[in-house]
Copies of this chain bind each other. A is one copy, B any other.
Amino acid sequence: MPRPRQPRLTRQLIVETATALIDAEGLPVFSTRRLAAELGVRGPSLYNHFATKDEILDAVADTVTGAVDTSGFASRDWAGALRDWAWSYRRALTAHPNIVPYLAQGPGRRPAALAMADAVYGGLVRAGWPPARATHIGAALRYFVAGSALGSFARGFVEDPELYAAHYPHLRQAHRLAEHQQSVDEGAFALGLDALLHGLAAEYARTVGTVESARPSG
Contact = CB atoms under 8 A, between A and B. Distances in A.
Most B Cβ at <10 Å: residue of A108, A144, A158 = A144
A161 interface: no
Given A168-B115, A170-B121, A171-B114, A108 B203 contact: no
Contact of A133 (B122, B168, B191): B191
A105 interface: yes
A196 to B, nearest CB: 5
Given A106-B157, A109-B163, A198 B202 contact: yes
A168 B106 CA distance: 16
A189 B137 CA distance: 9
For chain A, what secondary structure do more than half of its interface residues adopt (helix, strand, loop), or is it mixed? Answer: helix
Interface in A137-177: 137-148, 150-158, 160, 163-164, 167-171, 174, 177
A188 interface: yes
Contacts of A167: 111, 114-115
Interface string A171-209: 100100100000011011101101111111011000000
Contacts of A108: 156, 158
Contacts of A137: 188, 191-192
A135 interface: yes
Contact of A139 (B101, B185, B197): B185
Nearest 8 interchain pairs by C-beta: A106-B156, A195-B199, A147-B147, A140-B192, A143-B147, A198-B199, A139-B188, A139-B153
